[in-house]
Chains A and B, each alone.
Chain A
Amino acid sequence: MNAPFNKLAPQDGVSRRELMVVGAALVGGALVVGCSPADLMSAGSKVEVGAFGPFIRFDPDGAVTVLSKHIEFGQGNHAGLAAIVAEELDADWNRVKVVHAPANAKLYGNTGMGVQLTGGSSAISNSWDQLRKAGAGARAMFVQAAATQWNVPASEITVKDSVVSHGSGKSAGFGQLIADAAKVAPPESPSLKDPKTFTLIGTDRVRRKDSQAKSDGTARYTQDVQLPNMLVAVVAHAPRFGGVVKSFNGDDAKKVAGVVDVYQIPTGIAVVADSTYAARMGREALKVEWDLGKAETRDSATIAGQWRDIAAGKGPSDLKWEAFDSKGDAAAAAGGKDAFETTYDFPYLAHATMEPMNCVAQVDGNKVKLTHGSQGQTLDQMAAAKIVGTLPGSVEIETLFAGGSFGRRANFQSDYVAECVHIAKKVGGNRPVKLIWTREDDMRAGYFRPIVHHAVRVTLDKDGYPATWRHRIVTQSIMKGSPMPAKGPDQTAIEGTAGSPYLKATPIVDAQLALPEAGVPVLWWRSVGATHTAFVMEHTIDQLAGKAGKDPVDYRRALYAKAGANRHLAALNLAVEKAGPAPAAGWTRGVAVHESFGSVVAQVAEVKLVDGQPRVGRVVTAIDCGVAVSPDQVAAQMEGGTCYGLSAALYGEVTLTGGAVDQSNFDTYRVLRINEAPTVETHIVPSGAAPSGVGEPGTPVIGPAVANALLAISKTPTTRLPFVRSQA
């Protein structure tokens, strides 16, 4: 979720008026002159700010609580965010904890997006300046309070591990100074530390704060919410996307012990009960007839075939092509002798989080409270507000941990959240309703990474480097129809091909995008466009190197030099150096490098074939992510991102038959298990730049690295994913 939200940022050339229009569209109201989207979307909020600002609270004993505007669902961002505050505050790291902030777009909006939303691997980068200032500001308040109490100059006061001291021997903990410090006016622009003096950021002391709770069963997820008088709901959904209820009979369902009621809601038929088991048994007893007249009925293979036809110039004549990164004579890119030509096909992918989608809602008239793992609080507020007829800002949200997201929990429809609010509205009386999706509900609900097709044609110059590059991408648009429609080509479809150093190094480029439609809900999936563009660019480069008779690593180095891609070069060199001269006997190496979310990741993967299937052993990773606030969590994200990307590359594929999703659970949607997991070594490129993304950039590189190793082993390129097709 990188590019789409950049489009909302004024620095990207979007005017204030456009932002306002987006804001108004998001709220579903008219354009309100003179107020920002954040103002619009926080109107009605009752969130209060303490003396030390919206991000920091102190307990009476001086313990620090950092309020995170970003949800923690695995990324480790809470460790990094707390460390940024603790560093500037000079707080005792052992006495710093993190909680989720309440929902309020104005106080807690993502500064790059204008709405409160965690995404685009932006949690740390987006909060870097904001939280440094928050920490430094609070520190200055304590220093001033001590200076006044002790009648000494503030400049002579030092702070270390939550203790404020003066050379005269006077000292006091934060707890002793809170009352006075809270009365000091917060400084407008507190002075920030010289990063050379950081003592916490960038060290191995920055570790997760939630490991204990996540190891003893006490961490609280939506699934675990238990409130007095709470009902559990499950919903019968249409068997195809776009289907609606024609008629239903809930009599038998209501006879199931524990079932309280059955309701029709826009997305299907809801069964509410006093327990999860009763709700599920009730749903089995439901009789529903569906109207599938407007449903998507194509096979996924048919859709993929149509995308291929479009790229080959056999698509509908009214389908628009949009150019990106193009330069020079397009006719030349279509001509030339001895061209390298290939295509690539990518399937639908499910996010398949460990915790299936769920939500807890309470509705009383037009009052709403949501308790769930909210990734896009402002989006969820807007969806709920629209259903009950209130201001988005007045929708209260308690954000909990979520059992993974990988993009799934942030979508413009807030699909399952809206579903829960509809049910809670039917129940009424502020009675809590927990909506539970089963694994099957979750797998079949769509919001997949779309099917994507690439067609590539490259000619080489006399030295073997690309002279012309023709590129066609065909996919379904993620941003189309959203309140933040793409201006120009949908970046979520092209990022990674667009901006590629290889295209920069090529004199003539003709790159175009077509976005045909399908009735399947699609969404960003960890690393978004890079899920396919990294594969296409990196696997193509190895094939071009082969054609040119050059070593793939040297070939990349030469192209990075031509493109001025110094960060790519540094990451590649570090990974290659740390990998050492040669793999162990029987293993073959593949290399890939890709930039996403502001970070560059290079990987050397060691691969062998076991029973004809790829097995990945050691993966040496180098990342340039600017300042690594928490080096250990950067490593954790490289390990996890690699597994997530490898799982999809090896096995990930959702198929449709007659429009119905064929997969339902982990028996049919295979995912990576411990016996198939690689060992990832992480090396961080030294950098003084501000932090950039970490949660997603580790995902897209392993697929092409493995494909490149397989190319070296078998001389056969990979033109479609996954590597291992289902035997079904």
Chain B
Amino acid sequence: MAATLDVNGKTISVKADPETPLLWVLRDELGLTGTKFGCGLAQCGACTVHVNGDPVRSCVTPIAALAGAKITTIESLGGAHPLQQAWVKHDVPQCGYCQSGQIMSAAALLAQNKAPSDEDIDNAMSGNICRCGTYQRIRAAIKDAAGMAAAPVAATPVVTKPVALNDIDDDIAAASGSTGRGAGQ
């Protein structure tokens, strides 16, 4: 039994069983692998897509429930969406695995709220887990994309230029004198 889905503006006929979660149809059948599998239980948000503009966890949404719905995935943002530009500017990703879902949640937020407060961001984004802990930069990037001033605390470090680079070998020896150095030393 074939189902018909509207994915990223295209009408697509898929073979999967109607009970199959949208996530696996996107990934296995349509090759749209930007949407990630993280938990299968709507706990982590890595699989977030938009259904009629609302953020939805595709890992628990059977395709049977999506007849006539407009499904949008990370691939539809095109790579230069203001959020994606902000993500790159702030070097938000670390491992990167959760970031498609983060960006889709953030895109849904900004579509409905042009100037989200910290509390708005908490409410919209707390369903998306990032185990690398990029939350601070996610917040800064959302605000940047929304055209607001970044958070008062800089995401970029306060760097004091190294002062004594002239004789590295001696400095290694001196620095390692009182404490055990780590791997590779």
Q: Identify the stretch in A139-147, A347-355, A510-518, A533-541 within 8 Å (CB) of chain B at 4 or more residues.
A: A347-355
Q: B139 interface residue, CB < 8 Å from A?
A: yes
CA distance A121 to B30 in the complex (A): 38
Q: B182 interface residue, CB < 8 Å from A?
A: yes
CA distance A76 to B96 in the complex (A): 11
Q: Is the CB of B182 within 8 A of A275?
A: no
Q: Given known contacts A204-B156, A354-B38, is B185 in contact with A216 (CB within 8 Å)?
A: no
Number of A interface residues, CB 8 Å? 117
Q: B116 interface residue, CB < 8 Å from A?
A: no
Q: B2 interface residue, CB < 8 Å from A?
A: no
Q: Which residue of B lies closest to A641 (CB)?
A: B133
Q: Is the CB of B88 within 8 A of A215?
A: yes
Q: Which residues of B contact A216 (CB under 8 A)?
A: 34, 74-75, 77-79, 84
Q: Which residues of B contact A403 (CB under 8 A)?
A: 36, 95-98
Q: Is the CB of A202 within 8 A of B182?
A: no
Q: A573 interface residue, CB < 8 Å from B?
A: no
Q: Which residues of A contact B35 (CB under 8 A)?
A: 217
Q: B149 interface residue, CB < 8 Å from A?
A: no
Q: Which residues of A contact B29 (CB under 8 A)?
A: 275
Q: Identify the stretch in A462-470, A476-484, A563-571, A607-615 within 8 Å (CB) of chain B at 4 or more residues.
A: A563-571
Q: Which residue of A lies closest to B44 (CB)?
A: A666
Interface string of B158-185 (1 = CB under 8 A from A): 1111111111100110111111111111
Q: Given known contacts A120-B184, A439-B40, A692-B185, is B178 in contact with A214 (CB within 8 Å)?
A: no
| Chain A proximity of B178: nearest CB distance (Å) | 5
Q: B58 interface residue, CB < 8 Å from A?
A: no
Q: Is the CB of A639 within 8 A of B28?
A: no
Interface string of B3-36 (1 = CB under 8 A from A): 0000000000000110011001001110111111
Q: Which residues of A contact B87 (CB under 8 A)?
A: 211, 215
Q: Which residue of A lies closest to B85 (CB)?
A: A215
Q: Which residue of B lies closest to A682 (CB)?
A: B157
Q: Given known contacts A578-B158, A674-B128, is B179 in contact with A565 (CB within 8 Å)?
A: yes
User: Which residues between 109 and 168 of chain A lie within 8 Å of chain B, taking CB atoms?
Assistant: 110-113, 119-122, 125-126
B contact face: mostly helix, strand, loop, or mixed: loop
Q: Which residues of B contact A223 (CB under 8 A)?
A: 33, 36-37
Q: Identify the stretch in A245-253, A364-372, A624-632 within 8 Å (CB) of chain B at 4 or more residues.
A: A624-632
Q: Which residues of A contact B123 (CB under 8 A)?
A: 675
Q: A432 interface residue, CB < 8 Å from B?
A: no
| Chain A proximity of B81: nearest CB distance (Å) | 9
Q: Which residue of B lies closest to A124 (CB)?
A: B184
CA distance A327 to B50 in the complex (A): 64
Q: A690 interface residue, CB < 8 Å from B?
A: yes
Q: Given known contacts A635-B156, A635-B157, A640-B133, is B162 in contact with A688 (CB within 8 Å)?
A: yes
Q: Which residues of A contact B71 (CB under 8 A)?
A: none
Q: Is the CB of A120 within 8 A of B160?
A: no
CA distance A75 to B133 in the complex (A): 11
Q: B126 interface residue, CB < 8 Å from A?
A: yes
CA distance A146 to B147 in the complex (A): 49
User: Which residues between 27 and 61 of chain B lie within 8 Å of chain A, taking CB atoms?
Assistant: 27-29, 31-41, 43-44, 46
User: Which of A436, A440, A566, A632 meets B91, CB within 8 Å?
Assistant: A632
Q: B136 interface residue, CB < 8 Å from A?
A: yes
Q: Which residues of A contact B154 (CB under 8 A)?
A: 681
Q: A499 interface residue, CB < 8 Å from B?
A: yes
Q: A447 interface residue, CB < 8 Å from B?
A: no
Give the most central of B88, B122, B132: most A CB within 10 Å: B132
Q: Which residues of A contact B97 (CB under 8 A)?
A: 221, 353-355, 403-404
CA distance A202 to B160 in the complex (A): 9
Q: B151 interface residue, CB < 8 Å from A?
A: yes
| Chain A proximity of B158: nearest CB distance (Å) | 5
Q: Which residues of A contact B122 (CB under 8 A)?
A: 674-675
Q: Is the CB of A667 within 8 A of B41?
A: yes
Q: Given known contacts A578-B158, A632-B156, is B99 in contact with A680 (CB within 8 Å)?
A: no
| Chain B proximity of A31: nearest CB distance (Å) | 26
Q: Is the CB of A277 within 8 A of B24?
A: yes
Q: Which residues of A contact B158 (CB under 8 A)?
A: 578, 681-684
User: Which of B74, B153, B182 meets A122, CB within 8 Å?
Assistant: B182
Q: Which residues of B contact A220 (CB under 8 A)?
A: 33
Q: A326 interface residue, CB < 8 Å from B?
A: no
Q: Which residues of B contact A218 (CB under 8 A)?
A: 34, 79
Q: Which residue of B lies closest to A495 (CB)?
A: B180
CA distance A674 to B171 in the complex (A): 40
Q: Given known contacts A217-B74, A631-B157, A632-B156, is B133 in contact with A122 (CB within 8 Å)?
A: no
User: Which of B121, B125, B129 meets A666, CB within 8 Å?
Assistant: B129
Q: Is the CB of A404 within 8 A of B162?
A: no
- Given A404-B131, A667-B41, 8 more A-B residue pairs with CB atoms under 8 Å apart are A211-B92, A216-B75, A354-B44, A438-B40, A671-B131, A675-B122, A684-B159, A685-B160
List 20 A-B residue pairs with CB atoms under 8 Å apart, sorted by A's residue number: A113-B183, A120-B182, A125-B182, A195-B166, A202-B161, A211-B88, A215-B99, A217-B33, A217-B75, A224-B27, A277-B21, A354-B98, A356-B37, A404-B94, A578-B158, A632-B157, A672-B133, A684-B157, A688-B162, A689-B176
Which residues of A are at the interface with B, using a C-beta cutoff of 8 A? 1-2, 5-6, 73-76, 110-113, 119-122, 125-126, 194-196, 198, 202, 204, 207-208, 210-221, 223-224, 226, 232, 257, 275-277, 352-356, 401-404, 406, 436, 438-440, 499, 501, 563-568, 578, 595-600, 618, 626-628, 631-636, 638-644, 647, 665-667, 671-675, 677-690, 692-693
